[in-house]
Structure 1
Amino acid sequence: MKQITSRENSLYKELKLLATSSQVRRKAGRTLLDGVHLCEAYQQHLGSPELCIVSDVALNDPEVSKLLELCESQHIQCISLPANLYQAVSQVEHGVGIMFLVNTPSPVLPEHVSENSVALDGLQDPGNLGSILRSAAAAGIKNVFCSSGTVFAWSPKVMRAGMGAHFLLNIFENVDLDTVLQNAHVPVFATSSHTQTTIYQADLAQPLVWLFGHEGQGVSDKLMALANMTVTIPQQAAIESLNVAASAAICFFEQVRQQSFQ
């Protein structure tokens, strides 16, 4: 295992750029997975990372040692960093001390959508996106289509909120949602406060595309016009609306409930 101690090391500089710049991550098609859980989930579902980075103070941690031994047995390059250099790269406060450098998956966009999917129009908050991905994976949804205005799905904050859900989903970014929805072979459902039909009255036992939008502005009028049906989530009148991640979770699991009775 190679030890890097200088901030001027070219590999270290590259890692720091990837850690701190979404633009660099997008352009390079690479990202950093921070923490034991994400690293284990990646190895379980997608395979080997490009590089394993460990803080020298974590070398004796049993969970870190296990992952490190596995990487070395697979001839994956491993490096150790002093604690101060590691913390300058890590986005996790008080983390365990291990990261993977990985290539971000880039699945081929399907010509037609024919299975349960989610379309996200301009979602901005990393925590919301990560929560939606986690709920989607738990509900058995396979595809997530993100518009060009949606936050980068492979950013550290989104991945931490997703808790490994990324590795169970096909995530498509910078997607023209207008084309995807027009070519969908399944109905498109959107939530709205201006409809009387609740999610409990709608037929969700069929495959469909769920459409959610920006936290403040919602789904654009152009995309909303492509929805085959709008549904509402019953709630107390004193609350204007639900958080988009909470709304998505309620919709996904009402669909799971209805499908379980088929």
Structure 2
Amino acid sequence: MKQISSRDNPLYKELKQLASSASARKKAGRTILDGVHLCQSFLQYASVPEYCVISDASIDLPEVADLIHACQSKNVNCIVLPDNMYQLMSQVENGIGVMFVIKTPQHTSPTNLTSNAVVLDNLQDPGNLGSILRSAAGAGIEQVFCSIGTASAWSPKVLRAGMGAHFALQIYESVDLYALLREATIPVLATSSHTSTTIYQVNLNRPVAWLFGHEGQGVDPALMALATEKVTIPQRDAIESLNVAASAAICFFEQVRQRIS
């Protein structure tokens, strides 16, 4: 393992930039997995990292030792940092000091929709995006299509909220959703308060594409016009509309319920 103790070390500066800057991650085509669970999930379901970075205080913890051993067996560069230097990189408070640097997965978007999918239009909040990815993976949905304005799916905040779901999904970013939905060969469902058809009345025992939009503005009207069906989630009139991540989870798991019933 390589010890780095100087903040002027070029590799440390590079790693710190990746951890803190979205533009640096985009330019380098890399991202950061911060925490034991994400690192374990990546090794189990995806690939091997470019770097494994560990804090001095965490190096002897059993779960970290296992990760180090797995990385060294695959010839991954392991770097040990003093605790204060590690904390300058990490966005996790009181976490276990281990992170991976990985190449950001890139997928070429298919030209049509053929299986269960999630389509996200200008979704802004990283926590909402990560929660939707986690629910989608749990419901057995495999494809997620994100518009240009949607939060970066591979940012550290979204990755933490996703809790490893990314590695069970095919995530396509900067997708032309208008072209995608115009050519869809499966039903496109969007939630709306302007319909009386509930998700419990529509046939979900078939492949569908779920369309969700911006937290405040909703789905762009031009995209909403391309939805095959509009459905609503019944709730008390006096209550504010559901959070988009909660709405998505209800829709996904109603589809699971119909599939297994």
Task: Tell me the TM-score normalized by structure 1.
Answer: 0.98
Correspondence for 2:152: 152
Counterpart check, 1:221 vs 2:212: no
Cα deviation, residue 251, structure 1: 0.2
Correspondence for 1:132: 132
Cα deviation, residue 185, structure 1: 1.4
* 1:41-56 correspondence to structure 2 within 5 Å: 41-56=41-56
Spell out, residue by residue over 1:209-230, the C-alpha distance to the aligned partner (whole angstroms, 9 max, x if none).
0000000000000100000000
Correspondence for 1:17: 17
Counterpart check, 1:164 vs 2:171: no
- Per the alignment, in what secondary structure is the counterpart of residue 102 of structure 2? strand
Cα deviation, residue 83, structure 1: 0.4
* 1:1-262 correspondence to structure 2 within 5 Å: 1-261=1-261
Q: Distance in 2 between matches of 1:140 and 1:56?
A: 39
Cα deviation, residue 55, structure 1: 0.4
Cα deviation, residue 189, structure 1: 0.3
Spell out, residue by residue over 1:146-202, the C-alpha distance to the aligned partner (whole angstroms, 9 max, x if none).
111001111111111100000000011111110111111111000000000000001
Corresponding residue pairs, total = 261
- Per the alignment, in what secondary structure is the counterpart of residue 205 of structure 2? coil
- Per the alignment, in what secondary structure is the counterpart of residue 203 of structure 2? coil
Q: Tell me which amino acid in the other structure corresponds to 2:239.
A: I
Q: Distance in 1 between matches of 2:45 and 2:184?
A: 28
Cα deviation, residue 236, structure 1: 0.2
Cα deviation, residue 27, structure 1: 2.3
Unpaired segments ≥5 residues, structure 2: none
Report % sequence identity.
63
Spell out, residue by residue over 1:226-261, the C-alpha distance to the aligned partner (whole angstroms, 9 max, x if none).
000000000000113100000000000001111113
Q: Tell me which amino acid in the other structure corresponds to 1:165.
A: A
Q: Tell me which amino acid in the other structure corresponds to 1:67.
A: L
Q: Tell me which amino acid in the other structure corresponds to 1:218.
A: G
Q: Distance in 2 between matches of 1:177 and 1:26?
A: 21
- Per the alignment, in what secondary structure is the counterpart of residue 175 of structure 1? coil
Spell out, residue by residue over 1:1-59, the C-alpha distance to the aligned partner (whole angstroms, 9 max, x if none).
11011111111111111111112212221101011100000000112111100001111
Q: Distance in 1 between matches of 2:244 and 2:53?
A: 35
Q: Distance in 2 between matches of 1:86 and 1:16?
A: 9
Q: Tell me which amino acid in the other structure corresponds to 1:46.
A: A
Task: Tell me the TM-score normalized by structure 2.
Answer: 0.99
Runs (4+) off by over 2 Å: none
Q: Distance in 2 between matches of 1:213 and 1:111?
A: 21
Q: Distance in 1 between matches of 2:221 and 2:183?
A: 18
Q: Distance in 2 between matches of 1:14 and 1:80?
A: 15
Q: Tell me which amino acid in the other structure corresponds to 2:247.
A: S
RMSD: 0.7
Q: Distance in 2 between matches of 1:23 and 1:190?
A: 32
Q: Distance in 2 between matches of 1:193 and 1:45?
A: 38
Q: Tell me which amino acid in the other structure corresponds to 2:192.
A: S
